[in-house]
Amino acid sequence: MPRPVHIGRVFFRVFAISLVAVAVSGCANFDAVKKFATLSSNAANHAALTRDYIAALDRRKQYQPSVFHAELEAQKTRREAQQASLDVLQQTVVGYMRGLGELTTGEIRTFDKSLKDLGGSLNKATLLTSDEKEAIGALSTLLARRATAIYRQNEIKKLIRDGNQPLQEIIKATRKIVTRGIYADLQVESTVVARYYDNFMLAPGNPMEPVAMALAREAKIEALGRVDSRIKDAQAYDVVLEKIAHGQQYLHEHVNMVGDEALNEQFSPYMEELRYAYRNLLEIAR
């Protein structure tokens, strides 16, 4: 005759197992991942860079003859349309890092970028390739499906493991726009500014008045200094993205250590590099 099942005893066993699971999760140390996610989400969010990329064309009007202004306006319109590309890339990196950080604290909120809205943003992102758009969609889907289960350690590992490849692709695409688009354009602006003042100072028949020449040289130095600051800002942001990618890759390669105390010490050099890069970016962007 089979022995009767004691409901209270079964319940107690299940409850005890749950307590053990909670205890294991509670003992896990997610400090390294939490600090990296928080710092990365702040550092990756640099919308001012995109706005300046568009504003650069208005600045050029004062340095180029009016015959070029119509083309500058056309370029500005194209860049405003392209702004969606960099915006959606930045937002996805920030969203991933915030989602990762929330998992370390247990304060999991719904991913605030619905997949429907994301589809609309991707349609506007004309600079992105199909592979880059696919990476954004894959990472956003992972964020939308984050579990709210007790087993945070497993969920953190899963997000790092599954999110690494699309995140690396997204960061690579962002860096491509920053270096080949924004940085390259600022170098052109520097050349335009220098040529404008050189043409003024070296124009045939221009009277060599010491005061006028001194003012022109001073104005040239100031204008080129402002452009140089913007160039350094773009370079500093590229370095920040590089450090985020390196840190994420390290976590991916050592994902089985997530939750272990030892990871905090081993991950420290990556955190210091990112912290220094972000501090440098903030200093330049002032």
Rounded to an integer, the average pLDDT of 249-257 is: 94
Considering its fold, how many domains does the chain have in total? 1
pLDDT of residue 19: 37
In a domain, 177, yes or no: yes
Task: Mean pLDDT check: name the lowest of 28-42, 70-84, 219-233.
Answer: 70-84
* pLDDT tens-digit series, residues 193-238: 999 888 877 766 666 677 777 888 898 999 999 999 999 999 999 9
What is the Cα–Cα distance from 102 to 91, expressed in whole angstroms? 16
Please, are residues 93 and 167 in contact by the beta-carbon 8 Å criterion? yes
108: left (phi over 0), alpha (psi -120 to 50) or beta: beta
pLDDT of residue 53: 87
In a domain, 1, yes or no: no
In a domain, 103, yes or no: yes
pLDDT of residue 111: 54
For the entire predicted model, the pTM comes to 0.82
DSSP state for residue 256 in the 8-state scheme: G
* pLDDT tens-digit series, residues 4-26: 444 444 333 433 334 334 444 44
What is the Cα–Cα distance from 121 to 117, expressed in whole angstroms? 6
Number of residues assigned to the chain: 286
Please classify residue 62 by burial: count the beta carbons closer than 10 Å to its beta carbon, then call 0-12 exposed, 13-18 middle and 19+ buried.
Answer: exposed
**Averaged pLDDT score across all residues of the chain:** 82
Rounded to an integer, the average pLDDT of 142-147 is: 70
Q: Which domain holds residue 124?
A: 7-285
Please, are residues 75 and 57 in contact by the beta-carbon 8 Å criterion? yes
Buried residues in 244-258 as b, exposed as e (16+ CB within 10 A): bbebbebbbeebebb
What is the Cα–Cα distance from 117 to 119, expressed in whole angstroms? 5
Q: What's the one-letter identity of residue 256? A: N
* pLDDT tens-digit series, residues 97-144: 998 998 888 776 655 554 445 656 676 776 788 888 888 888 888 877
What is the Cα–Cα distance from 26 to 28, expressed in whole angstroms? 5
In a domain, 2, yes or no: no
Higher per-residue confidence, 239 vs 91? 239
Please, are residues 135 and 170 in contact by the beta-carbon 8 Å criterion? yes
Task: Mean pLDDT check: name the lowest of 139-143, 250-254, 262-266, 277-281.
Answer: 139-143
Given a cut of 90, whether residue 264 has pLDDT beyond it is no
pLDDT of residue 172: 94
